[in-house]
Amino acid sequence: MNSTPNFSLTGKVIVQSGGSGLLGRALVSGIAASGATLVVASRDAAKLEAQAAAERAAGRKVHAEPVDLGREDSIHALRDRVLAAHGRIDGLVFNAVSRPMKSMADDLSAWKSSMDTNATGFFAIVRALGDAMAKGGGGSIVNIASMQGMIGMNPWLYEGTTMTIPPDYFFHKGGMINLTRYLASHYGLQKVRVNVVSPGGIYNPERPQAPAFLERYGKMTMLGRMADAAEIGGAVVFLLSDASTYITGANLVVDGGYTAK
């Protein structure tokens, strides 16, 4: 028996929902570089195609596919296209997020709208692809939550800035963490592992956060800074890989020590 952990994703077919944002793009690059055949799916597949083409030009296997997480038939169609093209599904990374809600004072319609992707769509795609993996003999699901699903908001961080995090985000990410535990139990005997990665704050070089926020945030972490988006991918690749075959129902926190204080 080979006792060396296998961190490679070579030969695995992975579906990633949500890939156009800062973290999504970093995850695409990290998963593809680890050898997977990656199908990245979102409502606007054309927006993803440029990155997919760049990854293919670098010798990696990345394909863009459309999916509307608000429609179960669209999710099932994505599943069926992946199975038809690649023969199986070995993993799912749920990274999609919708943010129609901007503040506590928003109309209730914004809260309801956020549920379509962040709650109902999340459950629908995890169930559809989880069932497909179970039927195929196993797999790994990695949900991208946030440390904000574990803690409350710290208003001090945002004082004097226009930055804020609306309440639905805390609700969805907290729910995702605990639903992950339920799904791990549900799928465990079917050899489908389900875990969650909870990143801390990620620095955005394209739209840098307010200097006051960055200074305060750094003081809240043990490493003294926000994460780079690429630093989240290692945890995701690990949980997708055969190096983590006895890990399920876990919340892997990647926050520079923020919540450990």
The 10 Å Cβ neighbour count of residue 11 is 9
* 152 HSE (CA, 13 A, CB side): 3
Residue tagged active-site, from 169, 187, 217, 258: 169
Task: Look at residue 196 and give its three-state secondary structure.
Answer: strand
Taking alpha carbons only, the member of 61, 69, 60, 54 closest to residue 18 is 69
Helix (H, G, I), strand (E, B) or coil at 165: coil
Instruction: Tell me the C-alpha to C-alpha distance, in Å, between residue 76 and each of 40, 80, 183.
Output: 15, 6, 19
Could you confirm whether 246 is annotated as catalytic? no
Kindly state the helix (H) or strand (E) to which residue 183 belongs, with its residue range: helix 167-187
Sign of CA dihedral 21, 26, 30, 35: positive
The secondary element (H helix, E strand) that includes residue 41 is strand 37-42
Task: Give catalytic residue positions.
Answer: 169
